Structure 1
Amino acid sequence: MIGGLLHAIGFLTRIPVPARVFDDGRARRQSLAWYPVVGLVVGVILCALAWAWPPSLLSAAVMLVVWVASTGALHLDGLADSADAWIGGMGDRARTLEIMKDPRSGPAGVTAVVLVLLLKFAALASLPAHAWQLLWLAPMLARAALTAAFLTTPYVRSGGLGSGLTDAPRTACMTAVSMAVALCAVAGGRGIAAFAVATLVFLVWRRACLRRLGGITGDTAGALTEVLEAVVLVTLAAP
């Protein structure tokens, strides 16, 4: 199980882990159950920054830089590719998948990344004084959504980065998602609101992926992560 945790940390963040875990197929499969925990780790880092430097325009910018740097912009890349493909694919499955494979970002992708980062920055700068302690909800719920996505939705990219997660241990993954939901309940009213909004975003995203692609890809999973983080932050910053 430790191998799975290390694999999840190494894949989802830029925290150094032993390189050998990436050659371990069992660790890769087990890593999916640890995704919410890794999101919680990122969230704790954000909470520590917010505690040390109360929310302001400058601290929000620094916090966002740390957030992006800690994940290596992994999910932002998926957001950009998904935006380009969804618009450029014109409703065609094959063309949508083809555009996602293009490493270049078009106007739609760049615009999507800028808008999501702007929304995150504005939400971080607008956080009420009593809400910074709940920052961990955004990255945790976003990674829990990834676990739920691979549990409930076909993966359509043969040989993609997510192909090794399709046979992840279901019981462990379901337990991880359940624990994330329980933490939302413990967080009180804002935690429950964040979970409700995250669930709505997840369901809309899943339906769109099934209708267009018949399932998900690593890029659409990255897009889900970024969009879900943004809407949870907006929920926390709401009056």
Structure 2
Amino acid sequence: MVDGLRLGVGTLTAVPVPAPRRIDRGVAAVAMVLGPVAVVPLAAAAGLVVVGGAAVGLPALAVAALTLGVVALGSRGLHLDGLADTADGLGASYDRAKALDVMRRGDSGPTGVATLVFVLLVQVGALAGAISAGHGAAAAVAGVLAGRCTLSLACARGVPSARDEGLGATVAGSVPIPATVVVAAVAAALTTLAPGIAWWRGPLAIALGYLVVALLLIRCTRRLGGITGDVLGAGVETATATVLLTLAP
């Protein structure tokens, strides 16, 4: 459990923690299940930026951009990079090997850049809407945590790895289905308590976020043969955008 939490915090955030004593599939499963717990500091920082920005009278759009910038900085831009690489891979050749090679490169092509800009615009615009509606802090916290909740879905039993090495190979199929269900249920239940948001809107946001990630997993499994670390990042960012959009009104 301790090693799993260390792996989760060290992978998903820039918070310095001791390295895990060992890394195996059991530790990887714990890390993915505890992903939302690992990023609680990022969620808290996001909420504080929203509250602080509103307190000094900054425009909602500026506060939203600053909030998401802090989250990106606190996660080293890991998921944003994964989103761009996944988009490039899916938009590349239908040859699986070539698509995976494109994703392995460090640069971003036009498809990746366009996808990154689009998703960030949706996230910023949606969060700005929630801020204007008076529940921006709750939406920001929910978006950050819910995005990481979907990691357990992406790493659930039955989801293959696209490669034989790398982060994806370590975590793919490592999370038991019951654990995935529990994470989703807890997330849906907690969002009913979000201040300023109708009790039903939170669970709806979680359900839609999971649906978007499920569709992404189906697409990546068919095109790439499974998941990679980049696909995990793409899932986090698309789920976050979906949740923020649902909570915007």
- TM-score of the superposed pair, with normalisation by structure 2: 0.85
Aligned to 2:112: 109
1:30-49 → structure 2 map (5 Å cutoff) = 30-49=30-49
Deviations 1:110-156 (A, max 9, x none): 11112222222222222110343232221222111111111141122
Task: Choose from 22, 25, 42 the match for 1:24.
Answer: 22
Q: CA deviation at 1:163?
A: 2.1
What 5-or-longer segments of structure 2 have no aligned partner?
A: none
Q: Which amino acid aligns with 1:66?
A: V
| Structure 1 residue 167 displacement after superposition | 6.3
Q: Give the corresponding residue for 1:11.
A: 11
The answer for the alignment partner of 2:241 in structure 1 is 230
Q: Which of the pair is proportionally richer in helix? A: 1
Alignment partner of 1:217 is 2:228: yes
Match of 1:155 in 2: 161
Q: Secondary structure at the match of 2:108?
A: coil
The higher-RCO structure (CA 8 Å, 6+ apart) is: 1
CA distance in 1, matches of 2:81, 2:72: 11
Q: Distance in 1 between matches of 2:79 and 2:11?
A: 11
What SS does the corresponding residue of 2:201 show, helix, strand or coil? helix
In the TM superposition, residue 53 of structure 1 has moved relative to its aligned partner by 2.1
Instruction: Give the C-alpha shift of residue 9 in structure 1.
Output: 0.7
8 Å CA contact 2:85, 2:230 repeated in 1: yes
- How far apart are 1:186 and its partner, in Å? 4.0
Report the AA paired with residue 155 of structure 1. S
Separation of aligned partners in 2, 1:224 and 1:169: 16
C-alpha contact (below 8 Å) 1:36/1:176 kept by paired residues:
no
TM-superposed deviation, 1:169 = 5.6
- Which stretch of structure 1 is more off in the superposition, 79-88 or 35-44? 35-44
The answer on whether the counterparts of 2:160 and 2:173 sit within 8 Å (CA) in structure 1 is no
Given that residues 162 and 168 in structure 2 are in contact (C-alpha distance below 8 angstroms), is that contact kept between their aligned partners in structure 1? Answer: no
C-alpha distance in 2, partners of 1:57/1:131? Answer: 11
Structure 1 unaligned spans of 5+: none
3-state DSSP class of the match of 1:207? helix
Question: Aligned partners of 2:173 and 2:114: how far apart in 1?
Answer: 35
Q: 2:208 aligns with which of 190, 197, 209?
A: 197
Within-5 A mapping of 1:27-176: 27-54=27-54, 56-89=60-93, 91-127=94-130, 128-152=133-157, 153-166=159-172, 168=174, 170=176, 174-176=181-183
Q: Secondary structure at the match of 1:86?
A: helix
Q: What is the TM-score normalised by the length of structure 1?
A: 0.88
Structure 1 residue 206 displacement after superposition: 1.9
CA distance, structure 1, for counterparts of residue 126 and residue 180 of structure 2: 30
The count of residues paired between Structure 1 and Structure 2 equals 235
